[in-house]
């Protein structure tokens, strides 16, 4: 007997980034979420009836993630289900034999294995050697597993272009859902907001270096990640504050209070954080590459920096920031965010289920 409940499979819940928000937006209370592990402080954000964790959470995140593909490969679904949606770079290795309709939502090709030289050149020699020897194995089976899905979805044209380099299957673009955080009652303040995860490619270290040299400017940094401890050690300006992972109420407050968000990730696949800021009428400070080029227009809804010498360009922008121009972009920002509505997204995703 084929079960009508939908199965949603996601790598892990260490943070509440774009991928986590997307999967939680699709899944309904009576559906089943399968993930490897959930960080304890994230559990309160997952209001679902059925969650299956196939791995115990460990404070040593490296070892938590090291064997993720193996956990997904050998996890056995005892019953047959009609629909399965997989979202993640490791959960793609899930055994799909028990599912009739298999959908893969790709946020990005795993940068660790597909862009090794660019994103991990500063890692230790031992880590480099280890990754070098397993990356070919990982890439081979990643590409092989792509062919097993009935539908492959990407979060942007940029991601689709990257996917088409490794698969001949049809790829459909379904832009992520952007919740509106707009509030007319929250008074504005003069601080900048970094609302990206703390990972190497997010370039938050550059943002901190810039604000270390702008003593009269305030920066609030949200979220967490593998680089959090390192980033905190780099702070030399008392106006730089880390708030960690905040709930939706606090996040809405900060988006409406700030003057702009700063999202300067290298080769960003879509850039949900930038559009979330726009939903509150706040322009995004971004760089001219990746998914940002699909959503951001300079002096219309964003301040776009040349990716060459990002630090210099960001420093110049912050020191001479035009608050009046940022405020004038408000309606353009809201209009942009409205295009990526939750209603549109859910309609497109639900049409894929059988």
The tens digit of pLDDT for each residue in 32-53 reads: 999 999 988 888 888 888 999 9
Residue whose entry in the numeric block shows the structure tokens 């609302």: 195
In the predicted model, is pLDDT for residue 127 greater than 70?
A: no
What would the pLDDT profile of 70-92 be if each residue is shown by its tens digit?
Answer: 899 999 998 999 999 999 889 99
How far, CA to CA in Å, does 332 sit from each of 7, 188, 192, 193, 196? 38, 18, 19, 19, 22
Reading the block at residue 104, the tokens are 């893969």
pLDDT tier at 132, thresholds 50, 70, 90: confident
Q: Which DSSP symbol is given to 177?
A: P
The phi, psi pair for 305, rounded to 5°, reads -100, 145
User: Contact 249/186 with Cβ under 8 angstroms?
Assistant: no
User: What is the per-residue pLDDT for 269?
Assistant: 93
User: Contact 162/109 with Cβ under 8 angstroms?
Assistant: yes
What would the pLDDT profile of 149-192 be if each residue is shown by its tens digit?
Answer: 999 999 999 999 999 999 999 999 999 999 999 998 999 999 99
Element at 208 (helix H, strand E): helix 204-212
Question: In the beta sheet, which residues pair with residue 52?
Answer: 34
User: What is the per-residue pLDDT for 116?
Assistant: 55
User: What is the per-residue pLDDT for 27?
Assistant: 92
User: Contact 82/66 with Cβ under 8 angstroms?
Assistant: no
**Half-sphere exposure (CA, 13 Å, Cβ side) for 7?**
26
**What CATH code would you report for 2-174?**
3.40.50
Alpha carbon distance 297, 287 (integer Å): 11
The architecture CATH gives domain 191-339: 3-Layer(aba) Sandwich (3.40)
User: What is the per-residue pLDDT for 334?
Assistant: 98
Per the model's pLDDT, the better-predicted residue between 65 and 182 turns out to be 182
Collapsing DSSP states into helix, strand and coil, what is residue 183? coil
**Phi-psi domain of 213 (left: phi exceeds 0; alpha: psi -120 through 50; beta: other):** alpha
Residue whose entry in the numeric block shows the structure tokens 């809405």: 252
Alpha carbon distance 219, 322 (integer Å): 16
CB-based burial label for 208 (10 Å; 0-12, 13-18, 19+): buried
Collapsing DSSP states into helix, strand and coil, what is residue 264? coil
For helices 342-350 and 18-26, angle between their N-to-C axes, nearest 10 degrees: 70
Reading the block at residue 235, the tokens are 């702070």
| Residue spans in the chain of domains classed CATH 3.40.50.2000 | 191-339
């Amino acid at each position: 007997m084929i079960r009508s409940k939908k199965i949603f499979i996601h790598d892990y819940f260490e943070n509440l980034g774009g991928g986590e928000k997307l999967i939680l937006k699709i899944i309904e209370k009576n559906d089943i979420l399968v993930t490897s592990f959930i960080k304890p402080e994230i559990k309160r954000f997952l209001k679902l009836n059925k969650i299956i964790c196939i791995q115990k959470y460990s404070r040593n995140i490296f070892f938590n993630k090291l064997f993720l593909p193996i956990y997904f490969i050998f996890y056995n679904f005892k019953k047959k289900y009609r629909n399965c949606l997989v979202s993640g770079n490791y959960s793609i290795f899930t055994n799909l034999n028990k599912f009739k309709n298999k959908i893969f939502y790709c946020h990005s090709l795993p940068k660790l294995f597909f862009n090794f030289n660019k994103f991990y050149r500063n890692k230790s020699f031992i880590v480099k050697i280890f990754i070098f020897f397993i990356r070919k194995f990982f890439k081979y089976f990643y590409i092989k597993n792509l062919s097993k899905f009935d539908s492959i979805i990407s979060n942007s044209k940029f991601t689709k272009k990257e996917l088409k380099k490794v698969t001949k299957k049809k790829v459909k673009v379904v832009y992520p859902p952007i919740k509106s955080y707009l509030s007319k009652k929250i008074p504005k303040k003069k601080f900048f907001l970094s609302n990206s995860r703390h990972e190497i490619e997010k370039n938050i270290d550059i943002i901190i270096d810039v604000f270390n040299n702008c003593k009269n400017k305030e920066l609030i940094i949200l979220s967490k990640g593998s680089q959090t401890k390192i980033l905190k050690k780099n702070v030399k300006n008392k106006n730089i504050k880390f708030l960690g992972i905040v709930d939706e109420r606090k996040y809405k407050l900060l988006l409406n209070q700030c003057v702009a968000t700063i999202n300067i990730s290298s080769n960003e696949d879509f850039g949900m954080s930038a559009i979330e800021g726009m939903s509150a009428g706040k322009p995004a400070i971004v760089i001219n590459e990746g998914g940002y080029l699909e959503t951001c227009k300079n002096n219309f809804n964003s301040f776009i920096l040349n990716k060459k010498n990002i630090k210099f360009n960001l420093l110049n922008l912050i020191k001479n920031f035009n608050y009046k121009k940022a405020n004038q972009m408000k309606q353009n920002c809201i209009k942009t965010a409205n295009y990526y509505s939750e209603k549109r997204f859910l309609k497109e995703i639900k049409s894929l289920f059988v």
